[in-house]
Structure 1
Amino acid sequence: MRPLPSRYLVILILLTPASASAIAPIPITARGLEVDLAIFSLFLTPEEEITIAVNTEQSMRVEAPGMSIQQVRQQTGQLLQVRAPAAPGIYPMHLSSESGAAASQINIIVLTPFANLRDGMLNGYRVGEYPQPRQGKATYYAQPTGFIEVTEANMATQLTPHFTLAQFLCKQEAGFPKYLVLRENLLVLLEDVLQHVNSQGFSVATFGFISGYRTPWYNRKIGNVTYSRHIYGDAADIYIDQDLNGRMDDLNLDGAYDGKDMELFFALVEQLRDNSPGSVLPSGIGRYKPNRRHGGFIHVDTRGYPARW
């Protein structure tokens, strides 16, 4: 494992591990992602079918009001054949072991179909026009299949243990309902990064977001590139902000809030990328220095091919 540069090691603070929860999460595999989290979210179009592998030999209970679920037992676990409801919304599915020692919640989030977008508008919310798939990389720049509808009532929904729906909303001014695009692999990536940062001696509950999803309209308004990963729902500009002042924390404890803190965060993400070959790692990783509008941040995305800046 490649260590962090020595100038960073002196500031790492060893933390006393919190006592482990008595209830463990139930490991699953869905859409090629191996997930071992107490809460996770999957994004489906209306009546779409998905197979979720439950990776445990324990007998399981499944509670999924409003959904069609078929359980197929296997020698090393079971498969759940899930058919999403027809109406967009958030449908929690609860998994629990018969012993009560393990449990997880899987949010089945049914999207508003992309076809509902008319003249750049979706139910009064300005989305703008998506560009045609990028030449030579159509697989990585396909238009989304649908949008998550966000309301005042559901915006606090935990998508994973440490990230909520509201954190990914586009910054444009608009009333509710709002809409966003999000991909499951970004959720896994962010949880991986957060876990790694904490393992290196920092105590971080979640990340601050400069930007999560951006509508094509807003992305163009702020002068960003046409094919920004943010419009495809698999990118986030993040920073560490435990004191909640809206800027990167003084990570290296030198008494200054400057680019050195951003570089330390960047080094931590690079360390994860270089030393965790089996996890979902950032295909794109970039760093942005502090300026008068922000205190520096790191960009991560899961575009599917390498990029670094």
Structure 2
Amino acid sequence: MKKNKYFKEDEFKCKCGKCELPKGVPSDELVDVLCEIREHYNAPIIINSGYRCKEHNTKVGGAAKSQHTIGSAADFIVEGVKTEDVYQYVLEKYGDKPFGIAIKNNFENPFGGFVHIDTRGKKARWTYP
């Protein structure tokens, strides 16, 4: 993982608890983007889901070709910032980039849910149900 002042490797490890992060995971570009978002808000980012091994990805209902399985994706929240506000910022800042950007809203808690960003190399946008 690229050295940075905000994130540790453990934050990106698969939640299965059995596997290790592959070499080069998370991607340098993803780390750079998350650091920029962290600096913009001057608030901690909590990674809900980073790398996922194929087995864990299947278990949580991830897409067969999920960017999480190659280490180029993160689902996250910014502590103390509404998820919709983070999503709008990510769209404004990175909307022209070849990234996957999505939101999972929690309508009962505006600070819940998460924003998904990945550095897939082509533009993709969606909303989780």
Q: TM-score, normalised by structure 1?
A: 0.36
Residues 56-67 of structure 1: pairs in structure 2 closer than 5 A: none
Q: Is 1:209 aligned with 2:47?
A: yes
Q: Which residue of 1 aligns with 2:38?
A: 194
Q: Which residue of 1 aligns with 2:94?
A: 273
Q: Which residue of 2 aligns with 1:301?
A: 118
Match among 99, 110, 121 for residue 283 of structure 1: 99
- Give, in whole Å, the separation in 2 of the partners of 1:303 and 1:184: 13
Q: Does the 8 A contact of 2:38 with 2:78 survive in 1? A: no
Moved over 3 A (4+): none
Residues 146-157 of structure 1: pairs in structure 2 closer than 5 A: none
- Give, in whole Å, the separation in 2 of the partners of 1:271 and 1:264: 11
Of structures 1 and 2, the one scoring higher in RCO (CA 8 A, sep 6+) is 2
SS in 2 for 1:213: coil
* 1:201-230 CA distance string (max 9 Å, x none): xx31x3101100000010011121110000
Q: Does the 8 A contact of 2:98 with 2:122 survive in 1? A: no
- Give, in whole Å, the separation in 1 of the partners of 2:83 and 2:49: 16
Q: Is 1:180 aligned with 2:24?
A: no
- Give, in whole Å, the separation in 1 of the partners of 2:93 and 2:60: 31
Per the TM alignment, residue 291 of structure 1 is displaced from its structure 2 partner at its CA by 7.3
Q: Does the 8 A contact of 2:67 with 2:73 survive in 1? A: yes
Higher strand share: 1
Q: Which residue of 1 aligns with 2:15?
A: 171
* 1:57-107 CA distance string (max 9 Å, x none): xxxxxxxxxxxxxxxxxxxxxxxxxxxxxxxxxxxxxxxxxxxxxxxxxxx
User: Percent identity of the aligned residues?
Assistant: 30
SS in 1 for 2:20: strand
SS in 2 for 1:225: coil
Per the TM alignment, residue 300 of structure 1 is displaced from its structure 2 partner at its CA by 0.3
Q: Does the 8 A contact of 1:193 with 1:272 survive in 2? A: no
Q: Aligned letter for 1:180?
A: L
SS in 2 for 1:237: strand
- Give, in whole Å, the separation in 1 of the partners of 2:8 and 2:83: 23
Gap regions ≥5 residues in structure 1 = 1-39, 42-158, 242-248, 252-260
Match among 54, 77, 101 for residue 239 of structure 1: 77
Structure whose CA Rg is larger: 1
* 1:102-135 CA distance string (max 9 Å, x none): xxxxxxxxxxxxxxxxxxxxxxxxxxxxxxxxxx
Higher helix share: 2
SS in 1 for 2:17: coil
SS in 1 for 2:64: coil
Residues 1-309 of structure 1: pairs in structure 2 closer than 5 A: 41=2, 159-174=3-18, 178-181=19-22, 182=25, 183-195=27-39, 197-198=40-41, 203-204=42-43, 206-241=44-79, 249=80, 251=81, 261-274=82-95, 281=97, 283-290=99-106, 295-309=112-126
